[in-house]
Amino acid sequence: MQSIRGQNWDMSIVGLSVVTVAVALFFWNAPLLLPIKLFVVLLHEISHGLAAYLTGGSMERLSLTYDEGGLAHLRGGSRFLSLSAGYLGSALWGAALLRLAWAGPGVRRFAIRGMAVALGIIGLLYVRDLFTLAYVAFTALVLYGLGWQGGPRLQMAALWVIGTFSCLYAVIDIGTDILMAGPLAGIPLLGGPVRMTDAELLATITLVPAFIWGLIWSAIAIAVYFASVMVLATRRGR
C-alpha cells in the first residue's frame, strides 16, 4: 500500500493492471486468446442489441465469425445510439467485470453463473448459425463450470482478464480498423471508403468522419479503464 497525494493506493491492483495490459498488447494476436476476444466481441454485439431495445427497436439475431468479426441484426430503434453502443458498451462491460473481480467470493460466483445462464438464453433466442451457437454453448458451459467449481482466485482472474480485454477491445479494434483508415473514411461525399465498421456506418448518417468517432470512443474507453482501476485501487487502499 502506498500513499499518493494523501490517498492510500493498493499498488497490487495498479501492478496487476499494468501486467495484464502489457500481456494483452504483446499477445493480442495469439491463438490462445481467441476465445476471450470472441467473448468480448459478443459483449460488443449484445450492447448493440440492448441499445436497440432501449430505444424502441429489437434484435433479430447476432452472429460471430472465427476472425473476430461480429454482426447484430437490428430492427428499429435509434440507429445513432445503437451504432454508438458497441464500443461504449464494451468499455462499460469491462468496467463492471473489473469491479466484480474484486467483489466478494459469493458475488463473483453469482455473477459468473448469471453470465452462463444469460449466454444460454441469448443462444436460444438470437443465434442461428452453427459457429456462433457452438461458441456460445461452449462458453456457457465453461462459465457454468467456473461458477460452480472454480476457486476464488481463478474466478477473480477470469473476471479481471475479460474485463481488461473488454476495455482494451475498443482501443485496439478502433486503432487498427478505423484510425488507420484515414480521416475521411466513411464519408462517400468526401471520397472516403465506406466499409462496415460501426464508426464508418455512423459517419454515413452524421457526416462526422469515422476517424473522429474512433478518437472519441477510444478516449472514453481509456478513461473508463483508468477510472475503474483508480477507484478499485483507492478503495482497497483505505
Q: Which of 99, 100, 125 is nearest to 113 (CA)?
A: 100
Q: Does pLDDT of 34 surpass 80?
A: yes
Cβ-based neighbour number of residue 113 at 10 Å: 15
Helix (H, G, I), strand (E, B) or coil at 149: helix
DSSP 126: H
Residue 183 or 17, more confident: 17
Q: Residue 27 has what pLDDT?
A: 86
Q: Residue 186 has what pLDDT?
A: 44
Inter-residue contact 60 to 53 (CB < 8 Å): no
- In sequence order, the 6+-apart residues with CB closer than 8 A to the CB of 50 are 85, 89
Sign of the alpha-carbon torsion through 156, 30, 128, 88: positive
Q: Does pLDDT of 194 surpass 50?
A: no
**Mean pLDDT score, 82-98:** 95
Beta strands in 26-121 (DSSP E): 58-64, 70-75
Domain range summary for the chain, segments of one domain joined by +: 2-236
Cα distance between residue 158 and residue 146, in whole Å: 9
Range in 57-66, 99-108, 196-205 with the lowest mean pLDDT: 196-205
The pLDDT confidence band at residue 188, using thresholds 50, 70 and 90, is very low
**Mean pLDDT score, 210-234:** 91
Read out DSSP for 166-192? Answer: HHHHHHHHHHHHTGGG-TTTT-GGGTP
N residues, the chain: 238
Model-level pTM? 0.87
Which cell goes with 14? 495498479
